[in-house]
Amino acid sequence: MGPILPVPVLVAWAIVVCGGAYAVTTCSGAATATVSASQQDLDALKQRFRRPEGVPHPKANPMTPEKVALGKALFFDPRLSRSGSVSCATCHNPSLGWSDGLPQAVGFGMAPLPRRTPPVRNLAWGAAFQWDGRADSLEAQARMPITAPDEMNMSMDLVVERLQAVQDYAPLFRDAFGGEGAITARNVTMALATFQRTLVSGEAPFDRWASGDESAIGADAKRGFALFTGKAGCAACHSTWRFTDDSFHDIGLKAGDDLGRGKFAPPSVTAMRYAFKTPSLRDLRMQGPYMHDGQLGSLNAVLDHYVKGGETRASLSFEMKPFEMDERERRDLVAFLKTLKSEPAAITLPQLP
């Protein structure tokens, strides 16, 4: 298999507010052009962050209600772990934003893991998964924590053996996939992936504003959006309706032994050293922790980091530029981030077979 390289970021847009008027900047590589803008330009920019109409599912794994129900049961079933006490939902807890709220995850035998548990919302649109992007599909990602020795510590053969021993799982698999002998490792991961694709953030105040409701967010949040897409440069990486480019960047955090995406790239690809996936800002937990290893515990610490521009090194992403931000701008930016939060959907726990 060839080297795993970053998903390219082709175009970033920025909007700045000057008095009562807007100016839009488009950036592609090193080329930059600024044009005068009107309300039409602002509407075009908002369009880039608008929610899609539906949820994509791959042709190789189409969605059915039966497959979603099976995937949900498997997601909450601790029998998928060697200890029989840990399920996918243990770390991806719906009451904690589909994460665990910890700076770093806890693995098999309560051993601390080096990375934070990422939320699993809005992954149906993802291009690469895990903090280092080593999974190229949700189906591949679903297998990884189950079989990782320091996480759920199982083999897929043992998972299948356990599920076959549970009488009531057979009809669930048969309904989802048809035929006898439907309890297979492939079907386990396909069901899990299908369920995860249904975990989608609800409509947020920002969405209503982007659709034309000017009263949906306050003036401070609108200024924060201008800062987010303009001087602060956040939208260079936090783009699309999910506020992520699905790419990988070294943002100049304090580095340790974890090379991130750099582990899979040739040594000559310097930019991928210490590069980690851009997290989505949808439904951002305002109390933290933040970053791939939870090293920044508060939103103020995150803003401080970006204002300073991160640690200087050869792999530092070119998007990382120091800038000035006063206290009102900080409040405005936080006000904007809060508009990306939707009302949590009610989740009913499945009755396990």
The predicted structure's pLDDT at residue 43: 87
Residue 18 annotated as binding site: no
Residue pair 227/326 in contact by the 8 Å Cβ criterion: no
d(CA 310, CA 308): 6
- The reply to whether 252 and 206 lie within a common domain is yes
Long-range residue pairs from 265-272, CB within 8 A, at least 24 positions apart, any chain: 265/3, 265/4, 265/5, 266/3, 269/3, 269/5, 270/314, 270/315, 271/6, 271/315, 271/317, 272/5, 272/6, 272/248, 272/315
Question: Same domain for 25 and 138?
Answer: no
Give the count of domains, the chain. 2
| Residue where one domain finishes, among candidates 144, 164, 197 | 197
pLDDT at 37: 46
- Whether 236 and 326 share a structural domain: yes
Does 58 fall in a domain?
no
Q: Which of 151, 214, 327, 343 is catalytic?
A: 151
d(CA 127, CA 138): 9
Do 267 and 178 lie in one domain? The reply is no
Sign of the dihedral defined by the CA atoms of residues 166, 168, 170, 172, in that order = negative
Backbone angles phi, psi at 18, to 5 degrees: -125, 105
Pair (167, 102) in one structural domain: yes
Statement to judge: residues 323 and 259 lie in one domain: yes
Are residues 162 and 210 part of one domain? no
327 is an active site residue: no
Boundary residue ending a domain (197, 225, 246): 197
- Distance, in Å, from the CA atom of 158 to the CA atom of 154, rounded to the nearest integer, reads 7
Q: Same domain, yes or no, for 180 and 300?
A: no
* Tens of each residue's pLDDT in the chain, 353 residues: 444 444 433 333 444 443 333 443 434 333 333 433 468 888 888 999 999 999 999 999 999 999 999 999 999 999 999 999 999 999 999 999 999 999 999 999 999 999 999 999 999 999 999 999 999 999 999 999 999 999 999 999 999 999 999 999 999 999 999 987 799 999 999 999 999 999 999 999 999 999 999 999 999 999 999 999 999 999 999 999 999 999 999 999 999 999 999 999 998 999 999 999 999 999 999 988 999 999 999 999 999 999 999 999 999 999 999 999 999 999 999 999 999 999 988 899 999 99
CA distances for 295 relative to 28, 82, 116, 133, 301, angstroms? 31, 30, 9, 20, 9
**CATH number, domain containing residue 167:** 1.10.760.10
pLDDT of residue 40: 81
Q: What is the pLDDT of residue 41?
A: 82
Residue 53 lies in a domain: no
Instruction: Please give the pLDDT value at position 42.
Output: 87
249 is in an annotated binding site: no
Residue 60 lies in a domain: no
Residues 184 and 304 in one domain: no
27 known member of a binding site: no
- Does 323 map to a domain? yes
Note whether residue 313 is domain-resident: yes
Looking at the structure, tell me whether residues 177 and 77 fall in a common domain.
yes
pLDDT value at position 207? 97
Among 197, 227, 245, which residue terminates a domain?
Answer: 197
Same domain, 212 and 316: yes
Residue 110 resides in a domain: yes
Say if 56 falls within a structural domain. Answer: no
Q: Rounded CA gap, 170 and 63, in Å?
A: 19
- 348 occurs within a structural domain: no
Range of the domain at 78: 65-197
Same domain, 230 and 280: yes
